[in-house]
Chains A and B, each alone.
Chain A
């Protein structure tokens, strides 16, 4: 069964460094998303991406963040200058067609900022 994959599974970085989190959505899906979950808190929406552009973003998704689909398979989240409070699980998700379709999540990347 097709699934969303994410790399790395765990990333440790120092405050102020840039990180890139990578995702491979399900191949026939058209909508891509990033969410994050701080330990013990709820899953929060960051950004949605369709047709090579951002379709919606949350207040969390400020200038520090960017997304890109550099080729036909990868979808990346870049955090430019990491802060301690960026430590969280970051989940990529994708959906097939209509933006309100079911979203399938990848296994996540645990980001630890020290």
Chain B
């Protein structure tokens, strides 16, 4: 069983729209949840983290966590072409990060 699952995409949204990215995880003991953005050939860049159930907003990004459903999501408002990248969900049950395979987001003008 995969530990962190994401739809690989691509998710295509028009510029200015809301992009919704989803992730489920299997380890109920996970305490920390992260979203990274990875441009092709580059390293993961941390964009959001969330530790408690509910929503957390930072600029155009909102992370949502539902531990009962083992579900994490990322909303990107007013999507821009520069947001086009692969978004990695990561979960931390212990020291390590367990990554999903990522969802490729394409924002078209």
* A residues whose Cβ falls under 8 Å from a Cβ of B: 31, 33, 35, 41-45, 48, 50, 55-56, 58, 89, 91, 93, 99-108
Contact = CB atoms under 8 A, between A and B. Distances in A.
B46 A104 contact: yes
A91 B44 contact: yes
Contacts, number: 56
A42 B43 contact: no
Contact of B96 (A41, A58, A108): A58
B43 A31 contact: no
Interface of B: 31-32, 34, 36, 42-46, 49, 88, 90, 92, 94-102
10 contacts: A33-B95, A35-B97, A43-B88, A45-B97, A48-B96, A56-B96, A91-B44, A100-B32, A105-B43, A105-B45
Nearest to A40: B101
Contacts of A33: 95-97
Contacts of A107: 42-43
B96 A102 contact: no
